Amino acid sequence: MTYTKDFSVIIPVWQGAIKYLPKLFDSIPDKEGIEIIVVDNSKELVSREEIKSDRDIVFLHSAPERHAGGSRNDGMAVAKGKWLIFADADDFFAPNAFEVFYAWLNSDAEIIYTCSKGIYADTGEPSERGKRDALKVHRFCIGEIDEISLRFGISSPCAKMVSHALVDRHNLKYDEIRAGNDIYFSLTSGYYAKKVLALENVTYIITSNYGSLTQRRDYEVIKARLYSLLHCNQFLKKHGFSNRQYSIMNCLYEGRRYGIRKMWEFFCMVVKYRQNPFIGWKRWSKSYKNSKEIDKQNKKYIVK
């Protein structure tokens, strides 16, 4: 396939997130080689006029039950860019992001990992979001972790350049689920990429907002995250990386609040995917402590 654009920026959006788009659009250079693809998955359809932008935007609708993963899949299906760049509607790019991207336009790598940093949307103060992935990139760059840890360890699709040819060659897709839709795509693209690079440049700013998916703890969100981890672990086992499987214990722990019947549903999912629920048990204490510390910092943004 011939790609006629340099970059396709794919943005899922829903009615409540339209207000954030102007800031995101302003962070994307208005250049011929960059196309913006906005995919609405609202129950009440967003109109092109509601976006309030004079930019030349590719605007699509995706069924709401397919969630952000379906929007990203539809965006990839029409994208013309040599590289795919993913963004969430309430985030934005760092000032020099596309200078970094263009510097590597002709790279022979198929994924180029960069760094993100987090801020609280209402105050602009720094948050912890993005720090773990940025640390992983740094540790890889200085030789503290191996390439597999980089390829399998960064689940966010943002702050990356992803080769469109890679996606087309392996027909890579996002899970079309309520939450955690990006984990499987990030894992499989990391696995299949012929070559990867990592840069310590910050290219992406992640915002924390009240009620955003990353701050939700309701049952359907936890169930979706559990499914995404089980799906990934199934892939890892199939391809000989059982030792790299993700722990599912946090999902089981969060699910305990919803009673025996809901917990039984979770355990049925675990059995269906032949998953060992005790994977990563040596890291549980540390992970639990880190999770609680982050929740404490984000307390006013979390919706249960």
Q: What is the mean pLDDT of residues 165-185?
A: 97
CA 274 to chain centre: 26
Residue 304 inside a domain? The answer is: no
Asked if 39 and 179 sit in the same domain, the reply is yes
Residue 28 inside a domain? The answer is: yes
Asked if 41 and 155 sit in the same domain, the reply is yes
- How many Cβ atoms from other residues are within 10 Å of residue 220's Cβ? 11
Decide if pLDDT at 294 tops 90.
no
Decide if pLDDT at 296 tops 90.
no
pLDDT for residue 145:
98
Q: Name residue, tokens 């397919």.
A: 66
Asked if 139 and 70 sit in the same domain, the reply is yes
273-291 pLDDT tens trace:
999 888 877 665 655 556 5
Asked if 151 and 292 sit in the same domain, the reply is no
Domain span at 184? 5-212
Residue 36 inside a domain? The answer is: yes
The CATH number of whichever domain residue 60 belongs to comes to 3.90.550.10
Contact of 188 with 140, CB cutoff 8 Å = no
Asked if 153 and 231 sit in the same domain, the reply is no
pLDDT for residue 53:
92
Asked if 203 and 273 sit in the same domain, the reply is no
User: Does 196 or 289 have the greater pLDDT score?
Assistant: 196
3-state secondary structure of 1: coil
pTM here is 0.91
pLDDT for residue 286:
57
Residue 303 inside a domain? The answer is: no
Q: What is the mean pLDDT of residues 100-121?
A: 97
Per the prediction, the chain carries an average pLDDT of 91
pLDDT for residue 250:
87
DSSP state of 17: G
Q: What is the mean pLDDT of residues 48-64?
A: 94
Q: How many domains does the chain have?
A: 2
Asked if 231 and 200 sit in the same domain, the reply is no
Asked if 236 and 203 sit in the same domain, the reply is no
DSSP E strand boundaries for 140-281: 160-163, 196-208
Domain stop point among 194, 212, 230: 212
Asked if 101 and 248 sit in the same domain, the reply is no
Asked if 163 and 251 sit in the same domain, the reply is no
Residue 267 inside a domain? The answer is: yes
Asked if 202 and 158 sit in the same domain, the reply is yes
Domain stop point among 212, 237, 256: 212
- The band of 208, judged by pLDDT with boundaries at 50, 70 and 90, is confident
Q: Where are the alpha helices (DSSP H) in 154-258?
A: 164-170, 181-192, 219-238, 249-255
CA 45 to chain centre: 23
- The band of 10, judged by pLDDT with boundaries at 50, 70 and 90, is very high
Residue 228 inside a domain? The answer is: yes
Residue 281 inside a domain? The answer is: yes
Asked if 80 and 127 sit in the same domain, the reply is yes
Domain stop point among 212, 239, 263: 212
CA–CA distance from 22 to each of 91, 176, 193, 196 (Å)? 10, 26, 33, 32
- Kindly state the helix (H) or strand (E) to which residue 6 belongs, with its residue range: strand 5-13
3-state secondary structure of 202: strand
- The band of 214, judged by pLDDT with boundaries at 50, 70 and 90, is low
Residue 98 inside a domain? The answer is: yes
Decide if pLDDT at 211 tops 60.
no
The region that residue 159 occupies, defined by phi over 0 for left and psi between -120 and 50 for alpha, beta otherwise, is: left
